[in-house]
């Protein structure tokens, strides 16, 4: 009995019943395993749900790291490639995710279920940002650079939300949205616009 199996069972339960399993027992009955076996892998149903997100993220990363071309990309292109592939992976579970959205107004009121995914994502992005410093794609700014990852997390949520609402053929509008969002974010943290803005803000507030 591995984690993958339980995650799949959990999704199937949702898809067929339109709601979460009431208990671990109900879920285990579906795949015919004992509850003990379940608890060896997961401590609760909520943990399964969290892990679904993390697993999608992890699969995306694994595939990216195995890709030769990906290694040659700069930070911006890497992030682009990540989003494209991530959305691609999410597609496999779209029906499940749409159900989740309906029930929990994903992603707004759903943050706690994204917790483990968020930690992994932040780790990934902060590595990217460091890479960006070195290639001078990203400018290091005191105090503020530490907040970049949070900005990217919001961006990821934006992509997720856009994709969930996307009705275009092959989700091509999501592709366009990703391209634009990433370009914008990188332009902001690279250029001096942000500095000027901060400088201006500081000026206005300290004048008083």
Partner 1 sequence: MKEQSNIPTSKVERAGKFVTTGLKVGTNYIKHYTRKLMDPSTTKEELHQDNAADIYDTLSNLKGSALKVAQMLSMDKGMLPKAYTEKFAMSQYSAPPLSGPLVVNTFVKTLGKSPSQLFDQFDLQASNAASIGQVHKATKNGKKLAVKIQYPGVANSVKSDLRMVKPFAIRIVGMNEVDMDKYFDEIESKLLEETDYALELRRSMDLSRECAHIPNLKFPGYYPELSSDRIITMDWLDGQHLKEFLLTNPSQEVRDKIGQALWDFYQFQVHSLKQVHADPHPGNFLMRPDGTIGIFDFGCVKEIPEDFYENYFLLVDKEVLKDEKRRHQIYTNLEMIHPSDTPKEVEFFSGLFQHMIDLLTLPFTLDNFDFGNEVYFNEIYAYMDELYNMKEIRDSKVARGSRHSLYINRTYFGLYSILSDLKANVITGPARIQELMDARKTA
One of 35, 37, 40, 67 touching partner 1 (CB under 8 A): 67
Q: Least distance in Å: CB of 37 to partner 1?
A: 35
Taking the C-alpha atoms of residue 133 and residue 110, their distance in angstroms, rounded to an integer, is: 32
One of 36, 69, 136, 143 touching partner 1 (CB under 8 A): 69
Among 165, 166, 155, 49, which residue's Cα sits nearest to residue 110? 49
Among 12, 3, 17, 6, which residue's Cα sits nearest to residue 103? 17
One of 183, 198, 199, 202 touching partner 1 (CB under 8 A): 183
136 binds partner 1 (CB under 8 A): no
Name the maximum alpha-carbon separation found in the chain: 69
Pick the piece of the chain touching partner 1 (CB under 8 A) from 13-21, 117-125, 177-185, 200-208.
177-185
Strand ranges in the chain using DSSP code E only, listed in sequence order: none
Among 106, 84, 53, which residue's Cα sits nearest to residue 171? 84
User: What track of x and - describes contact with partner 1 for positions 71 through 110 (by CB under 8 A)?
Assistant: --x--xxx-xx--xx--x----------------------
User: Which tokens sit at 14?
Assistant: 């949702």
Cα separations in angstroms, 3 against 55, 59, 109, 143? 10, 14, 26, 39
Which residues 6+ apart lie within 8 Å of 187 measured at CB? 193
Pick the piece of the chain touching partner 1 (CB under 8 A) from 16-24, 107-115, 132-140, 181-189.
181-189
CA end-to-end span of the chain: 65
Taking the C-alpha atoms of residue 7 and residue 2, their distance in angstroms, rounded to an integer, is: 9
175 binds partner 1 (CB under 8 A): yes
Cβ proximity to partner 1: between 77 and 145 the closer is: 77
One of 24, 157, 173, 194 touching partner 1 (CB under 8 A): 173
Size of interface with partner 1, in residues (CB under 8 A): 25
Q: Least distance in Å: CB of 188 to partner 1?
A: 12
Give residues in contact with partner 1 (CB under 8 A): 67-69, 73, 76-78, 80-81, 84-85, 88, 168-170, 172-173, 175-177, 179-180, 183-184, 187
């Amino acid at each position: 009995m591995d984690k993958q199996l339980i995650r799949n069972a959990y999704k199937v339960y949702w898809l067929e019943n339109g709601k979460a399993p009431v208990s671990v027992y109900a879920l285990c009955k579906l795949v015919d395993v004992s509850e003990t076996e379940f608890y060896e892998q997961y401590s609760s149903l909520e943990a399964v749900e969290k892990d679904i997100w993390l697993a999608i993220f992890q699969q995306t990363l694994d595939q990216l790291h195995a890709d030769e071309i990906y290694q040659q990309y700069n930070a911006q292109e890497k992030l682009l490639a990540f989003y494209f592939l991530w959305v691609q992976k999410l597609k496999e579970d779209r029906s499940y995710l749409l159900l989740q959205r309906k029930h929990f107004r994903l992603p707004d009121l759903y943050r706690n279920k994204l917790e483990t995914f968020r930690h992994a994502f932040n780790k990934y992005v902060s590595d990217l940002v460091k890479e960006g410093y070195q290639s001078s794609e990203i400018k290091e700014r005191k105090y503020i650079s530490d907040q970049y990852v949070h900005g990217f997390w919001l961006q990821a949520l934006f992509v997720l939300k856009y994709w969930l609402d996307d009705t275009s053929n092959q989700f091509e509008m999501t592709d366009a949205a990703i391209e634009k969002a990433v370009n914008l974010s990188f332009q902001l943290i690279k250029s001096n616009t942000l500095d000027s803005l901060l400088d201006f803000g500081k000026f206005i507030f300290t004048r008083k």
